[in-house]
């Protein structure tokens, strides 16, 4: 209602102030996406194509027949699944441990969150060492720790063998993002009025039931947010894997394969097609989400 009042006074003033940004977004986000789409529909499949023309969906069809692409795609999906579930669980556990308040909370919270401040290129070597596949007497890293704590049977090849590569590769990603998820959940928990809890306690509900029936339902918007954020980060994952395993086949995901297609193969059409595939996978989740957010905000006005 108040917003309307402003409109009456200066209906388009604000528009002119954001116009530069609108133009920038139109050109550099939407225009450039359009350019990439066009590139993906053309025949520039090597560095020296001169006669450029449209080839329809050929590049996309070829992607599906390219075993390396399907390998990278399935790697990415595995990674996404493990990363999202792992992050949700560990972030939720962290927030559950902290949400009622505990002495030293600030310290724990800060250490859980610091990985967000560090570049993955910087953590590459540490994680490569941690996830070294040497075993038993030669073991270093996590395998060594597992032996020391009596879990030697759990020693693993980590990311170097095909079966488990993406499960292992999601560990550093979980390590980095859990704190973020924790913060979101903490904000969610603490946004719930204490009265709700108290009332349930007075009614004799067990702690478990309070979480199950009262607190968690309140957190569903938070869950949704977390899923969207983790999902789009996961689809784009690049430097985390590049920093640990460079372009190794075993951990190849779409973003890395695209890099290779553009620079090693100089196949621009195919690279553009891969980029658009990544974009579409993100868009199908994000666009409905944005519309939903938009609607709920309007409703709250």
Tokens linked to 278:
């990544």
The residues in 36-95 that bind another protein, with binding defined as CB under 8 A, are 36, 39, 45-48, 66-68, 71, 90, 93-94
Tell me if residue 43 falls in helix, strand or coil: coil
Q: How far apart are CA 115 and CA 91, in angstroms?
A: 13
Residue from 130, 166, 169, 253 binding another protein (CB under 8 A): 130
Q: How many CA atoms lie within 13 A of 263 on its CB side?
A: 7
Q: How far apart are CA 108 and CA 103, in angstroms?
A: 10
Residue from 55, 77, 81, 113 binding another protein (CB under 8 A): 113
Select the span of 79-87, 171-179, 197-205, 210-218 touching another protein (CB under 8 A). 171-179
Is 206 one of the binding residues for another protein (CB under 8 A)? no
Give the distance between the most distant pair of CA atoms in the chain: 78
Select the span of 14-22, 51-59, 76-84, 212-220 touching another protein (CB under 8 A). 14-22
Tell me if residue 54 falls in helix, strand or coil: strand
Residue from 121, 151, 196, 199 binding another protein (CB under 8 A): 121
Q: Cβ of residue 202: shortest distance to another protein, in angstroms? A: 15
Is 156 one of the binding residues for another protein (CB under 8 A)? no
Q: Cβ of residue 59: shortest distance to another protein, in angstroms? A: 13
The residues in 249-288 that bind another protein, with binding defined as CB under 8 A, are 249-250, 252, 255, 258-260, 262-268, 271-272, 274-276, 278-279, 282-283, 286-287
Q: Contact at 8 Å (CB) between 279 and 33?
A: yes
Q: Which is nearer to another protein, 179 or 211 (CB)?
A: 179
The residue assigned the tokens 């666009």 is 287
Q: Cβ of residue 69: shortest distance to another protein, in angstroms? A: 11
Is 211 one of the binding residues for another protein (CB under 8 A)? no
**Helix 165-190 and helix 67-98: axis angle, to 10°?**
40
> Can you list the pairs that 161-165 forms with residues at least 24 positions away whose Cβ atoms lie under 8 Å?
161/133, 161/250, 162/250, 165/75, 165/250, 165/251
Q: Which is nearer to another protein, 83 or 180 (CB)?
A: 180
Q: Contact at 8 Å (CB) between 214 and 197?
A: yes
Select the span of 73-81, 135-143, 195-203, 211-219 touching another protein (CB under 8 A). 135-143
């Amino acid at each position: 209602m108040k917003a309307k009042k402003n409109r009456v006074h200066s209906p388009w003033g604000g528009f002119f102030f954001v116009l530069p940004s609108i133009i920038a977004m139109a050109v550099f986000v939407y225009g450039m996406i359009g350019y990439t789409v066009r590139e993906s529909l053309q025949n520039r499949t090597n560095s020296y194509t001169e006669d450029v023309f449209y080839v329809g969906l050929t590049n996309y069809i070829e992607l599906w027949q390219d075993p390396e692409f399907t390998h990278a795609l399935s790697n990415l999906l595995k990674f996404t699944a493990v990363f999202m579930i792992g992050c949700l669980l560990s972030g939720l556990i962290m927030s559950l441990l902290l949400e009622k308040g505990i002495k030293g909370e600030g310290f724990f919270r800060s250490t859980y969150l610091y990985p967000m401040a560090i570049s993955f290129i910087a953590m590459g070597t540490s994680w490569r060492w941690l996830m070294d596949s040497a075993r038993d007497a030669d073991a270093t890293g996590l395998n060594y720790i597992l032996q020391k704590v009596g879990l030697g049977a759990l020693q693993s090849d980590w990311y170097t063998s095909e079966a488990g590569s993406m499960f292992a590769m999601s560990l550093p990603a979980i390590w980095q993002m859990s704190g973020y998820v924790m913060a979101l959940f903490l904000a969610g928990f603490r946004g719930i009025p204490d009265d709700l809890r108290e009332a349930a306690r007075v009614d004799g509900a067990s702690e478990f039931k309070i979480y199950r029936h009262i607190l968690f339902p309140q957190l569903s918007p938070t869950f949704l947010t977390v899923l969207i954020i983790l999902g789009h980060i996961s689809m784009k994952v690049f430097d985390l894997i590049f920093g640990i395993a460079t372009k190794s086949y075993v951990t190849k995901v779409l973003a890395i394969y695209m890099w290779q297609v553009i620079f090693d193969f100089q196949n621009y059409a195919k690279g553009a097609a891969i980029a658009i595939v990544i974009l579409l996978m993100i868009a199908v989740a994000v666009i409905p989400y944005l519309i939903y957010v938009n609607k709920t905000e309007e409703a709250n006005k």
